[in-house]
Amino acid sequence: MALRDLLKGFSATGWFTPKACRPLPLIFSQFREVLKANNQALELIADMGEKLSGEYLFDLRYVEATVEEMIAAMRRALTAINILTQNQCVALHEVFTPMEARVRAILNKRDDREGPPLLWLTEVETRHWPLVGGKAAHLSELLHNPKVRVPEGFVITTRLFHDLLDLNGLRPEFDRFELLLSEHLPDEEGLEALRRILQEKVLRAEPPSGFLDTLTEAITRLAASSEPPLFLAVRSSAQEEDMDFSFAGQFHSELQVPPQAEAVYRAYLLVAASLFGAKAIRYRRQVFPEGSPMSIAACCQRMIRAQASGIIYSIDPMEPGSQSMVAVGALGQGQAVVEGQVPTDFFRLSKGEPPQVIERVIAAKHEALRSTGTADGGLTMRAVPNGQSGVPCLDEQTLLELAGVAIHLETFFKRPQDIEWTLDPQGALYILQSRPLLITESEKGKPKLSEKLEGYELIAVDAGRVAQQGIGAGPAFWVETLADLKDFPEGAVLISHRDSSQFVQVMHRAAAIVTEVGTPASHMATLCRELRVPCLVGVPDIMVKVVPGEEITVDAEDRRIYRGRVVELLTYQATTTMDLHMAPEFRMLRRILREVSRLNLVDPLMQEFRPEGCRTFHDVLRFIHETAVLHLVELGRDDRCLPGGLARRLDLPIQAGILAIDIGGGIAPDAPRDQIPFSAIRSIPFRAILQGMMFPGAWHQEAMSVSFRDMMHSMMTTPQDTLSGQYTGHNIAIISETYVNLCFRFGYHFNIIDAFCHDVERDNHIYFRFLGGATDIAKRSRRATLIATILEAFDFSIQTKGDLVIARTSNLSQSEMERTLDILGRLIGFTRQLDVQMTDDQAVARYAEAFLMGDYGIVAG
């Protein structure tokens, strides 16, 4: 039926009651418009996300065209939600406009030019990554990681680099230089001449006015939070440096810089000019043969007074198959170690849990790189006092602590890591840098990988679908309820029946994720790609085939799961140099998706769930969807907006007293006008709920014996006590073929279920709210806890407050939706009068267990 016809029918029966009420079918059709626009945008985001999973080949043209389509869909979604909510969401436009501008800046390759010239490491968000460069981006991530200590500091961003080019008239030369670099066979002499000019001119560049003051302020702030004397380390952080490839030692670093703005600025110029160093340019042409403009930022951190410093590799690059890691270190500052100026101690550790030292070679360390001790800063080689040169630079305990950090960082970044560490005089371990460790293994004379894999037992072949490519191994860990996440061990493989965006809590610790149901387009899959967690979804019966705790290897490239730890595959992963991520189209798509696909508003029940809390396109869409759902939830709440004449009674075997209002396809056309039988209900979600309510034993007909105290309580309740006041009105179900909004007013409690359900998973949602009861607040709250406990077991996200329970779930397949709604139907019947029996806290656990075991009879007993 067309909307117009429906509206005609509704208005004829006095539908337009109080003036604030809009016709239900109109609101519902506006809701569907929101879903439609949201979906188009989400599908495009998911499509781009899938391209990033590594499973696809695509080109730059694809990226540009898809971004344009996506922005148009976002605009349609914003319009639609404002129509539905009658302009209650205009603030979203203001939130979205700068997001769109940032995405366009990426498309136009200008995203490293827009933003502040100076940013504190603690303030760096993913959208700042192009501005702060790879090293600073990684450090800022680590700054929020409680297992790692990072020296505080700030970043002079690429914005300043571009300002210097413009202000000092270097732009034309810079552009010519980049153009030459991108040519297949450039004029080598011209290139060399330009390189020199740029290098020299950058060294003499004047700062923008006011920048030295900004620097002075930043240095003063840093001094306030550190122990004197303060010196700074100014290190290069080139765009995407360290992201996927090394750039190790290609750019300049200036250490022990005195805390004055001029000195820090000079150090920054040395770093910036090194972008045009002969060595750096050679390296760049190797890794980016297609050319790609680069800019440079500098990370300015408090210098740690180093007792000892060095490097740890989370895997031995010489023997990647050996499952051991190696560390080297010397006394004093680490620059002497990375530049090979001093002999170093060598340690080899096993990668077990816990790690163990298996080899120790202690060098005679006669010299150490230390501060000159003058106010001008600088470092110098000093003799090590007699008797100390043979002492290991790290004691056993610190070495094991360092090894633990290395294992953690490898799991955190999902790649073997090359980590620079330093130890302060108090024995505190600091991480100065963590970047992917590149390993190359000689293929010559070795059997092919496919032959080496033949000896391993396969648990699953052609398993499910790839949500994120990669290879991960570890002990299998079952996540059956969200509470299990609390115990998730470092480096385990997460196994679950269905996916959940809540898994994000442990993704940094997970080696891989495998679920029995789910799609590569889910929120969880997006998060897996964001955090590069190898992930297979839709692998049937994996929970039957694998024993919890046993070691497995997940190959989310060829969709295979092996029993045991397949060292050859892990080695293959470590030695494959991820060329893919360096291609220009991948880098652009990755940057765009960072602005677009990350979901920060994971839980609609969080405080940040406001327009201002939205940081990505996905956040905006999630906010729009939830707002639209909440708008619908309120539909049946105000009785005055419901047309009495259209409500039809149901004829059910249980006395639920429900009136149904059909707004399109919810009831069979040939059903009787009144007393509608169950068989005539066409609404998918409503049918499922009724099925649950009618499940044998779930609905208790007989009244509970209410104690005298409870009776008194309900009689004494005044209307002011809104939480337990009597709810008047009918039990109303507003239904369509794909939708139900069911409001129960069971005397003293109020219960809403709002659900949308059809074959597009991401449209589907369930919203459940339960409030009140006839008994005292303690019993009512216990019932609320009981409901929350049960719903949590079914993966709902829950909020409780006193006797109020709000639960939500979404993104379920139609069959999962129907199963869950059926359970909700049983739960409504089961808990209807149960507050009376909630005499103590143990009752909560007892009844929850009974319900989960299907023992509904416990209520009657």
Partner 1 sequence: MSETNMRLLVVDDEPIVGKRLKQVFGKIGFEIETYTDSAAALAAIAEKPFDIVVTDLKMEGIDGIEVLKRVRAMNPKTRVIIITGYASPDTAELAQQEGVFAFLAKPFRLDELKQVIYRAMEADRAKE
562 binds partner 1 (CB under 8 A): no
Question: Binding residue for partner 1 (CB under 8 A) from 175, 396, 451, 651?
Answer: 451
- Give CA–CA dist 112/519, Å, rounded: 34
Cβ-contact 827, 787 below 8 angstroms? yes
Measured between alpha carbons, how far is 259 from 264 in angstroms, rounded to an integer? 7
Kindly state the smallest distance separating residue 590's Cβ from partner 1, in Å.
Answer: 13
The answer to whether 494 touches 534, Cβ cutoff 8 Å, is no
Q: Which stretch binds partner 1 (CB under 8 A): 54-62, 296-304, 480-488, 809-817?
A: 54-62
- Report in angstroms how near the CB of residue 572 gets to partner 1 at its nearest: 7
Q: Are 102 and 205 in contact (CB under 8 A)?
A: no
* HSE-up of residue 339 (Cα within 13 Å, Cβ side): 12
572 interacts with partner 1 by CB under 8 A: yes
Looking at the Cβ atoms of 415 and 700, the one nearer to partner 1 is 415
Q: Is 558 in the site for partner 1 (CB under 8 A)?
A: yes
Nearest of 475, 233, 230, 454 to residue 333 by alpha carbon: 233
User: Rounded to whole angstroms, how far apart are CA atoms 683 and 735?
Assistant: 6
Residue 17 vs 575, nearer CB to partner 1: 575
Residue from 191, 230, 357, 583 in contact with partner 1 (CB under 8 A): 583
User: Any idea what DSSP says for residue 332?
Assistant: B
Decide: 194 and 173 in contact? Cβ < 8 Å: yes
Which of 586, 856 has the CB closer to partner 1? 586
* Ramachandran assignment for 532, one of left (phi > 0), alpha (psi -120 to 50 degrees), beta (any other): left
Residue closer to partner 1 by CB (options 119, 473) is: 473
CA–CA gap between residue 613 and residue 628 (Å, rounded) = 17
Work out whether the CA dihedral 113, 115, 119, 125 comes out positive or negative: negative
By beta-carbon proximity to partner 1, the closer residue of 204 and 448 is 448
Round to whole Å and give the CA distance between 769 and 751: 6
Least spacing, CB of residue 57 vs partner 1, in Å:
6
Name the residue nearer to partner 1 (CB basis): 249 or 289.
Answer: 289
For partner 1, the closer of residues 138 and 465 by Cβ is: 465
Applying CB under 8 A, does 444 fall inside the site for partner 1?
no
Q: Phi-psi region for residue 549, left (φ > 0), alpha (ψ -120 to 50) or beta?
A: left
Of the candidates 15, 45, 51, 832, which one interacts with partner 1 according to CB under 8 A?
51
Q: Establish if 59 lies at the interface with partner 1 (CB under 8 A).
A: yes
461 interacts with partner 1 by CB under 8 A: no
580 binds partner 1 (CB under 8 A): yes
Q: In the set 444, 448, 640, 673, which binds partner 1 (CB under 8 A)?
A: 448
The residue assigned the tokens 């769930």 is 609
190-229 footprint of partner 1 as x/- string (CB under 8 A): ----------------------------------------
- For position 586 contacting partner 1 by CB under 8 A, the verdict is yes
Q: Which is nearer to partner 1, 62 or 346 (CB)?
A: 62
Question: Binding to partner 1 by residue 287, rule CB under 8 A?
Answer: no
Ramachandran category for residue 256: left, alpha or beta (phi over 0 → left; psi -120 to 50 → alpha)? left
d(CA 195, CA 173): 9
| Cβ-contact 493, 473 below 8 angstroms | yes
Among 550, 579, 840, 855, binds partner 1 (CB under 8 A): 579
In whole angstroms, the minimum distance from the beta carbon of 318 to partner 1 comes to 22
**Which helix (DSSP H) or strand (DSSP E) does residue 429 occupy?**
strand 429-436
456 binds partner 1 per the rule CB under 8 A: no
Residues 6+ apart with CB under 8 A from 760: 39
Which one, 61 or 673, has the nearer CB to partner 1? 61
Buried b / exposed e over 98-107, threshold 16 CB at 10 Å, is: ebbebbebbb
By beta-carbon proximity to partner 1, the closer residue of 48 and 698 is 48
C-alpha 292 chain-centroid distance: 29
Residues in the chain: 861
Least separation, in Å, of the C-beta of 441 and partner 1?
Answer: 13
CA-nearest of 746, 745, 787 to 768 is 787
Site size toward partner 1, by CB under 8 A: 23
Residue 124 vs 512, nearer CB to partner 1:
512
Q: Which is nearer to partner 1, 164 or 569 (CB)?
A: 569
Among 290, 480, 487, 651, binds partner 1 (CB under 8 A): 290
61 binds partner 1 (CB under 8 A): yes
User: Minimum distance from CB of 588 to partner 1 (Å)?
Assistant: 12
Nearest distance from C-beta of residue 59 to partner 1, angstroms:
5
Based on the shown chain and the rule CB under 8 A, indicate whether residue 56 belongs to the binding site for partner 1: yes
Residue 557 binds to partner 1 (criterion: CB under 8 A): yes
Select the residue interacting with partner 1 from 3, 22, 43, 55 (CB under 8 A). Answer: 55
CB of 580 to partner 1, least distance (A): 6
Minimum CB distance to partner 1, residue 181 (Å):
16
Is 289 a binder of partner 1 (CB under 8 A)?
yes
Exactly one of 7, 21, 62, 107 binds partner 1 (CB under 8 A); that residue is: 62
Alpha-carbon distance 822 to 676, whole Å? 20
| 121 within 8 A of 154, measured Cβ to Cβ | yes
Name the residue nearer to partner 1 (CB basis): 3 or 580.
Answer: 580
Q: Are 753 and 824 in contact (CB under 8 A)?
A: yes
Least separation in angstroms between CB 645 and partner 1: 54
Cα 471 to Cα 450: distance, rounded to the nearest angstrom:
15
Rg (CA), the chain: 32
Q: How far is the CB of 560 from partner 1 (least distance, A)?
A: 10
* Contacts of 655 by beta carbon, 8 Å cutoff, 6+ apart: 701
* Sequence-ordered strand ranges (E) for 98-246: 118-120, 153-156, 232-238
Nearer Cβ to partner 1 (51/435): 51
Nearest Cα to 336, choosing from 364, 359, 308, 304?
A: 308
Distance CA 813, CA 805 (A): 24
Nearer to partner 1, 58 or 488 (CB): 58
Q: Contact positions toward partner 1, by CB under 8 A?
A: 51, 55-59, 61-62, 289-290, 448-451, 557-558, 572, 576, 579-580, 583, 585-586
